């Protein structure tokens, strides 16, 4: 809509209005696996104060002197192993785009709602998408950080970036952000379905299933981050939904970075210990990741699986993330419809 009231001067620029935007935002991913693309991505990621909270005086010499010289090659090789060769991009981007497209179709009954997607690091950038939405007439925007559990290093940095985009706008849209949904019954049911459906494809049964969440430094938790408790809540509700014993569904934390202590128990150490103690068959799922990505495909489906088998385990399987499956889309649509109440 861009019809101007009769009393406005004829040379007033046309202004669109009357729409509601929904912006799905995931973490981000490099544009390619080469050194330059990897370095650009890691630099943007690792200079974010919400991610690395150390003083800049201490961190920048390490980052620019060591990390950004070595890590791009090492991590670039890991990305190569899990790259979506058909589309020449990472699966995180493929699934996030598909989630945006499928959500737009699912919300067709709300004609004023405009759906798009962005990344916190890399492209498409949050600020560019927010500008586009505002120009297209979105007077209200719902920002959806694609994380079921709140962490300052993920949810808050997306929200910061979205609010920053308003700084230069004359007519700012109203902004809502999606809160954590660790205990959402639709989410818990989708996770339970994904376990049951995946296990039904196997000719063996795991002795236990590990729910492995991305870790955060323990110091962030001690400063008040609610992430750890929300992860435990998801697993507890999932266990209750499945009717399983406590020992059959474990919580672990993966993807440590740097020398600090992170949330425990660590996924890699747990997998090795279980195998050494005689456990022969396990499955791992990643309830905190809305889409499969480096951390699930390479670190868990690849490395953790190999570690388990090398230490005496016999059967290993990785349960895929909800991605853009029907159940995954039901979770996203349900969250969006709830958070749009009174707006659309
Ligand atoms: C101190 C560093 C990091 C914190 C804290 C952290 C928290 C955190 N991250 C995710 C989700 C993802 N992280 C991913 C990759 C990744 N994470 C870090 C560091 C921290 N993450 C790095 C340096 C990287 C890049 C890879 C590497 O160099 O090891 C990804 C995958 C992105 C992809 O393209 O596939 C996701 C997703 C969460 C949920 C979280 C805290 C709760
Ligand atoms: Fe991470
Ligand atoms: Fe990792």
- More confident position, 344 or 121: 121
Q: Which ligand sits nearest to residue 26's alpha carbon? A: 1
* Cβ–Cβ < 8 Å for 249, 242: yes
Predicted local confidence at residue 13, as pLDDT: 78
Mean pLDDT, rounded, for 276-301: 98
- Band of pLDDT at residue 15, cut at 50, 70 and 90: confident
End-to-end CA distance of the chain: 16
Predicted local confidence at residue 328, as pLDDT: 98
Predicted local confidence at residue 204, as pLDDT: 98
Predicted local confidence at residue 11, as pLDDT: 81
CATH number for the domain formed by residue range(s) 185-319: 3.40.50.1400
Q: Which residue has the tokens 């005689």?
A: 278
Domain spans of the chain? 19-181+328-339, 185-319
Mean pLDDT, rounded, for 72-91: 97
- More confident position, 331 or 4: 331
Ligand 1 lined by 295 (C-beta under 6 Å): yes
Ligand 1 lined by 147 (C-beta under 6 Å): yes
Q: How confident is the model over 194-240, as pLDDT tens digits?
A: 999 999 999 999 999 999 999 999 999 999 999 999 999 999 999 99
214 annotated ligand-binding residue: yes
Tell me what ipTM this predicted complex has: 0.93
What is the fold, at CATH topology level, of the domain defined by 19-181+328-339?
Rossmann fold (3.40.50)
Predicted local confidence at residue 218, as pLDDT: 98
295 annotated ligand-binding residue: yes
- Within 155-304, where are the H helices? 157-165, 185-200, 218-222, 227-242, 267-276
Would you say the CATH fold of 185-319 matches that of 19-181+328-339? Answer: yes
Mean pLDDT, rounded, for 109-118: 97
């Amino acid at each position: 809509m861009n019809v101007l009231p009769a009393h406005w001067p004829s040379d007033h620029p046309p202004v669109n209005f009357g729409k509601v935007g929904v912006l799905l935002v995931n973490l981000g991913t490099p544009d390619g696996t080469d050194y330059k693309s990897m370095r650009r991505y890691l630099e943007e990621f690792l200079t974010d104060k919400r991610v690395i909270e150390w003083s800049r005086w201490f961190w920048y010499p390490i980052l620019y002197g060591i990390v950004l010289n070595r890590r791009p090659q090492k991590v670039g090789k890991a990305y190569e192993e899990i790259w979506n060769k058909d589309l020449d991009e990472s699966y995180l981007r493929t699934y996030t785009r598909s989630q945006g497209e499928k959500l737009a179709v699912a919300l067709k009954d709300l004609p004023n709602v405009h759906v798009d997607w962005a990344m916190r690091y890399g492209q498409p950038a949050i600020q560019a998408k927010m500008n586009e939405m505002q120009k297209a007439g979105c007077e209200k925007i719902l920002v959806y950080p694609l994380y079921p559990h709140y962490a300052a290093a993920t949810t808050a940095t997306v929200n910061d970036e979205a609010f920053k985009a308003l700084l230069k706008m004359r007519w700012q849209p109203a902004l809502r952000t999606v809160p954590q949904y660790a205990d959402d019954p639709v989410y818990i049911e989708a996770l339970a379905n994904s376990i049951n459906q995946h296990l039904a494809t196997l000719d063996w049964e795991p002795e236990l299933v590990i729910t492995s969440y991305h870790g955060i430094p323990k110091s962030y938790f001690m400063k008040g981050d609610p992430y750890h408790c929300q992860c435990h809540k998801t697993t507890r509700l999932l266990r209750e939904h499945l009717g399983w014993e406590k020992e059959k569904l474990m919580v672990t934390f993966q993807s440590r970075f740097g020398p600090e202590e992170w949330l425990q128990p660590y996924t890699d150490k747990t997998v090795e210990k279980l195998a050494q103690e005689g456990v022969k068959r396990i499955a791992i799922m990643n309830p905190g990741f809305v889409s499969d990505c480096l951390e699930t495909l390479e670190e868990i489906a690849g490395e953790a699986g190999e570690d388990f088998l090398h230490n005496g385990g016999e059967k290993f399987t990785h349960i895929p993330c909800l991605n853009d499956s029907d159940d995954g889309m039901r979770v996203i649509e349900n969250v969006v419809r709830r958070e749009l109440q009174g707006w659309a």
